[in-house]
Amino acid sequence: MKVIDAEFAKGFFRMCVDGFYQGWHERNGGNASYRIKPEEVDEVRNDFGNINGSVQDGEWQDIGTTVKNLACEFFMVTGSGKFMRNIELDPAANVCILEVDETGTKYRIVWGLTKGGRPTSELPTHLMNLEVLKNRDARFRVVYHCHPTNIIALTYVLPLDSEIFTREIWEMATECPIDFPEGIGVVPWMVCGGREIGVKTSELMKKQKIVIWAHHGAFAAGYDFDETFGLMHTVEKAAEVLVKVMSINVYKRQTIEPDQIRQLGKTFGVDIDERFLYEKRPGARIGER
Ligand code: 2HA
Ligand code: ZN
């Protein structure tokens, strides 16, 4: 089967393009990765190395970090400098499949990037996240990074504190504590595109599946494309509500209270992390404890 006809590839392309239409991928902003299942690799293996007559040289390159637990696995990832918008028009030119070698330090491109290029600049972060997530629960396969406006806006006005961010976002939509009961991770501003920010992000991905990069964007992880995109969409929607609430007033007249969040946990059978259910002092403004 051709890669572009495979269900996993179609799901990957759709997630990227849907993000563009949400306004989360200006220019070449954002990137995505998917740890391909062995049976899916088998389905498309005969399409590797030859796209429209353009044969990838398949040279091994340094990842820039070590991901031993991903050795010999295959990944679909977006290309560095490529625009998500163009994935709709020509997926094979903007996305690639790469293979990680048996040491977990090198990769080679086996499909895609037909007009040249390299995998996303955030490859170290993607692979380190996928490794941590695989160790946590092998069903995790998708990591998605985008630049959602309201989430980014909040990183200028809320303390860069995971507990406060989570709590304020949770209060903005009933589904939030149910969808991400482990809360939101927050990384302070750092230079992107390297190993250091990847280490920091993957540390948080040991427990959480949504991590915000201050003044930059967010990373979401999930078992499949719908779950991952849906998680990002849910957090960004709640962030939009919070931006509107904060635009009207610095206080809330009423909100979803900690005991009500606990009730949600019981009703829906999810383990809500008590860390985020701190008592606020009377008269606290939004973003204060
Ligand atoms: O340009 O979003 O974080 C791609 C990015 C880098
Ligand atoms: Zn980015």
The answer to pTM > 0.95 is yes
Atom index in ligand 1 nearest the CA of residue 28 equals: 1
Ligand 1 lined by 28 (C-beta under 6 Å): yes
pLDDT for 58: 78
* Average pLDDT across the chain, whole number: 96
How far apart CA 240 and CA 234 sit, in angstroms, is 10
pLDDT for 53: 47
Residue 57's pLDDT band, with cuts at 50, 70 and 90, is low
pLDDT for 59: 87
> By CB neighbour count within 10 A (0-12 exposed, 13-18 middle, 19+ buried), where does 249 fall?
exposed
Q: Which residues in the chain belong to E strands, given as ranges?
A: 31-35, 61-62, 74-78, 95-100, 106-112, 142-146, 185-187, 210-213, 217-222
Question: What is the Å distance from ligand 1's center to 121 Cα?
Answer: 7
Contact predicate 280/251, CB 8 Å: no
Ligand 1 lined by 192 (C-beta under 6 Å): yes
Ligand 1 lined by 114 (C-beta under 6 Å): no
Ligand 1 lined by 31 (C-beta under 6 Å): yes
Question: Which pLDDT tens digit goes with each residue over 63-90?
Answer: 999 999 999 999 999 999 999 999 999 9
Q: Where do the structural domains in the chain lie, given as residue ranges?
A: 3-276
Contact predicate 167/107, CB 8 Å: no
Question: What is the Å distance from ligand 2's center to 31 Cα?
Answer: 7
Residues with catalytic roles: 122
- Neighbour-count burial for 118-132, b at 16+ CB within 10 Å, e otherwise: bbbebbbbbbbbbbb
Whose atoms come closest to the Cα of 27: which ligand?
Answer: 1
Contact predicate 99/107, CB 8 Å: yes
The DSSP result for 51-74, as a single string, is BTTB------EE-SS--GGGTT-E
Question: What is the Å distance from ligand 1's center to 218 Cα?
Answer: 10
Do strands 217-222 and 210-213 pair parallel, antiparallel, or not at all (unpaired)? antiparallel
Ligand 1 lined by 149 (C-beta under 6 Å): no
User: What is the CATH T-level fold of the domain 3-276, as seen in this structure?
Assistant: L-fuculose-1-phosphate Aldolase (3.40.225)
Residue 151's pLDDT band, with cuts at 50, 70 and 90, is very high
Question: What is the Å distance from ligand 2's center to 3 Cα?
Answer: 26
How far apart CA 270 and CA 249 sit, in angstroms, is 32
